[in-house]
Structure 1
Amino acid sequence: MEFVLNLLLIASGIVLLYFGGEALVKNAVVLARSWGISTMVVGLTVVAFGTSSPELAASLAAALTGSPAIAIGNVVGSNILNILLILGVTALLAPIRAQAQFIKREVPIMIGAALLLFVFLYFDQQITRWEGLFSMALLGLYIWFLYRSSISESADVLEEFDQEYGQPAKTGWQTYVGLVLGLALLGVGARLLTIGAVELARAFGVPELIIGLTIVALGTSLPEVAASITAALRREPDIALGNIVGSNVFNILGILGLTALVQPVGLPWEGIQRDMWVMLLASVLLWPFLATGSRLGRREGGVFLGLYVAYVVLLVQSTAQRSMG
């Protein structure tokens, strides 16, 4: 009976994620057009931070209940999954073209955030309150930087929208309600799916760190999955790419930063070093793929997917060896 209930939670979560992704992307595009800012900026902020809310809830809950391995594993696993799996699937559905300025500016910021987490965990094997405060301050600077950039680019963006769509779209209360509704559906859907998946995993004796790196990471990243795939299918690749890069920055600076402010989290370096290296390498790998012709095509998407499958196989093998030992 409990097994069936968990399957129902997973199915319900998937349905809510689908409708939430549709509502979020549709209204985010309208908002970008009406404000005269690029869809890339909306993807990097509204969509990225909104779809990362399940990671925030899961990491805070894990830290407060004495499960730092799930809190850290959730963020590291989500960042790996965002790049290798989500961008891989998105590129297979609709090749992504990136603006040259985006490559030069946003991807290095994401790599810098990954390096910062690497330093925090390598030297003292924890994220202290001071390090959390520093991360939150960096996130504030990042948001301010995006805002200033969008103002300087607004004239060009408005001209681009006029050429492509005609008059800029008008927003009403329905747009904002739709945006909030989309975020709410994504959050609830991810929560239902994660609860069902974690309970199933624990029933099979899967370790907490592996749960955080895979099941919780996948469950809390499903809003990014839904939003990015929906954006790709609606031919809004800037939102898809901005969503992933913005989410990865927010996951480290915002989620782990806030979590550490509330409750410092730590983990032995030996337990997380493999996954930290994978996250860092995945972040660095994204840059040259986009720099070659400013495009993430189906071939690159296939490479990313293959790397993620290899990573999951490695996790399964290590779990099996531990259980046998």
Structure 2
Amino acid sequence: MPSTTRPSRLRLGFAGALAALLVAAGTAGGPAAQAGEQHRAKTLGDLAQRHGRYFGSATDNPVLTDTAYTKILGHEFGMITPGNSMKWEATEPRQGVFDFTKGDEVVEFARANRQKVRGHTLVWHNQLPGWLTSRQWTADELRTVLKNHIQTEVRHYRGKVYAWDVVNEAFNEDGTWRESLFYKTLGPGYIADALRWAHEADPKAKLYVNDYNVEAVGPKSDAYYALAQQLKAQRVPLHGFGLQAHLALQYGYPTTLEDNLRRFARLGLDTALTEVDVRMLLPATEEKLAQQADWYRDLTKACLAVRRCVGITVWDWTDKYSWIPEFFPGEGAALPWDEQFAPKPAYHAIRDALKRR
């Protein structure tokens, strides 16, 4: 609570001189001074929390050694998602032999900074260990393996992980089932089983299905809508739908995003934008950065407009550590901070959206 005592003229004079020194230092300081100013302002996490939402970032273990990076990561966000350290390849590299070292490191970082954690991901067709993909499994064998993996990991993080992406990327673009190891061996029922097993292991965790290219109303998001209806009718513990929101300027903005969020909310589900970035064809220009800022503003406003959209997570926060250039050659500049950790127009657009509502 601020003091109500009037400061003396001497104190006012000192304060004014100090302020002048700080302004001068900030003017000379460039990005470092901007980062300091950011630190004193309300963070994105603070602003989102005022709306009952979170604003989070993904991170990965190798970058946690960058102290300039971790200072902003630990301060600006209310939620952390481990990018890779909770995936099957990392957590069960040999059958029945679990290693949670890297996941624990991220969870401990979040705990130290009073941040929640989204677990990512329990069942996915990618980043599976060789022992799992190199042999044929009977349905009974794979059910046993899948249940053991899910329940061992979820129990390990019980009470430490707020929500899980239980099943990731289960459908093709046309809404047909992805022919993953799990679908081909177990059929579509593997999703209900995975959700039930995760719920048994941690009844308080929020459980999501998660995918990309589902931001707009269309065949792929329709498939998830039908799946969610079915799971809810069967009383399967599904609590949320994650829309990754890996967007690209050259493909256009998903204008039906808000409508899509609303229809899942009407099913009684939370929604979240879980892996947000907005890439562009390089080089970045002022025009492209302005368009990117508009998209970040619009998707933030869409989430705020739907009561059950609980939060937004950027897929890391700085272009320095973005996954985009490696996987989409010639594209990049996808995140709200640049490679020098200076905020871009997108950062200010997000702040503007969070402050206005």
Common fold by TM > 0.5: no
TM-score (norm 2): 0.23
Quick one: higher RCO (CA 8 Å, sep 6+), 1 or 2? 1
Write 1 or 2 for the structure with the bigger share of helix: 1
**Pair member with larger Rg:** 2
TM-score (norm 1): 0.25
